[in-house]
Amino acid sequence: MGAEATRKCIDKCGITSMQYSINRRDMLQRAGLGCGMLALNSLMAESASSAKAPHFHATAKNVIWLFMHGGPSQMDTFDPKPLLKELHGQTAPASFHDIQTSFTDVKKQKLLGSQFTFSKCGESGTEISDGFKYMQNHADDIAVIRSLYHEDFNHNPALWVMNSGHARAGRPSMGSWLSYGLGCEANNLPGFIVMSDGAMKAGGGVWGSAFLPASHQGTRLNMSGPPIANLKQSMESEKQLKMLKYMKQLDSAPNAELEARIKSYELAFRMQMAAPGALDVTKESKATRDLYGDNRFSKQCLMARRLIERGVRMVQIYNGCSAGDEWDTHHGNFARHKKLIHNVDQGCAALLADLKSRGMLEDTLVIWCGEFGRTPTTEKSNGRDHNPYGFSGWMAGGGVQGGQVIGSTDEIGFRAAEDKVHVHDFHSTILKLMGLDHEELSVNQNGLDMRLTDLHGYRDVYDKLTGRKS
Q: What would the pLDDT profile of 390-426 be if each residue is shown by its tens digit?
A: 999 999 999 999 999 999 999 999 999 999 999 999 9
Which runs of E-coded beta strand occur in 372-441?
373-374, 386-387, 391-396, 404-406, 408-409, 416-418, 421-422
Q: Is 204 exposed, middle or buried (0-12, 13-18, 19+ CB in 10 A)?
A: middle
- Rounded percentage of the chain residues whose pLDDT exceeds 70: 77
Instruction: Tell whether the model's pLDDT for residue 199 goes beyond 90.
Output: no
Say which DSSP state 368 is in.
E
Instruction: Tell whether the model's pLDDT for residue 16 goes beyond 90.
Output: no
Minimum mean pLDDT among 218-222, 374-378, 409-413, 437-441: which range? 218-222
* Confidence label for 40 from pLDDT (cuts 50, 70 and 90): very low
Any idea which fold 3-466 has? Alkaline Phosphatase, subunit A (3.40.720)
Phi, psi (deg, nearest 5) at residue 215: -65, -10
Query: What is the spatial distance between Cα 424 and Cα 34, in angstroms, rounded to a whole number?
Result: 42
User: 142-149 and 192-196: which strand pairing?
Assistant: unpaired
Q: Which residue has the higher pLDDT, 96 or 241?
A: 96
Interacting residues of 244 by C-beta distance below 8 A, sequence separation 6+? 35, 262, 265, 266, 269
Q: Is 429 exposed, middle or buried (0-12, 13-18, 19+ CB in 10 A)?
A: buried
pTM of the entire structure? 0.83
Q: Where are the alpha helices (DSSP H) in 281-332?
A: 286-292, 296-309
Report the sign of the C-alpha dihedral through residues 310, 315, 320, 321, in that order.
negative
Q: Where are the domains of the chain?
A: 3-466
In this predicted structure, what is the pLDDT of residue 371?
98
Q: Is 369 exposed, middle or buried (0-12, 13-18, 19+ CB in 10 A)?
A: buried
Query: What is the spatial distance between Cα 259 and Cα 267, in angstroms, rounded to a whole number?
Result: 12
Beta bridge partners, 280, equal none
CA 231 to chain centre: 22
Query: What is the spatial distance between Cα 468 and Cα 399, in angstroms, rounded to a whole number?
Result: 10
Query: In 90-103, which positions are buried (b, 16+ CB within 10 angstroms) versus exposed (e)?
Result: eebeeebeebebbe
Instruction: Tell whether the model's pLDDT for residue 28 goes beyond 50.
Output: no
Interacting residues of 13 by C-beta distance below 8 A, sequence separation 6+? 239, 242, 243, 246
Query: What is the spatial distance between Cα 252 and Cα 110, in angstroms, rounded to a whole number?
Result: 73
Query: What is the spatial distance between Cα 181 and Cα 50, in angstroms, rounded to a whole number?
Result: 11
* Confidence label for 377 from pLDDT (cuts 50, 70 and 90): very high
In this predicted structure, what is the pLDDT of residue 265?
53
Instruction: Tell whether the model's pLDDT for residue 122 goes beyond 70.
Output: yes
In this predicted structure, what is the pLDDT of residue 263?
55
**Residues 216-252: tens digit of each pLDDT:** 999 888 766 666 665 554 445 556 556 656 655 655 5
Nearest Cα neighbor of 49 from 197, 219, 194 is 219
Beta bridge partners, 144, equal 394, 405
Q: Which residue has the higher pLDDT, 96 or 58?
A: 58
In this predicted structure, what is the pLDDT of residue 202?
81
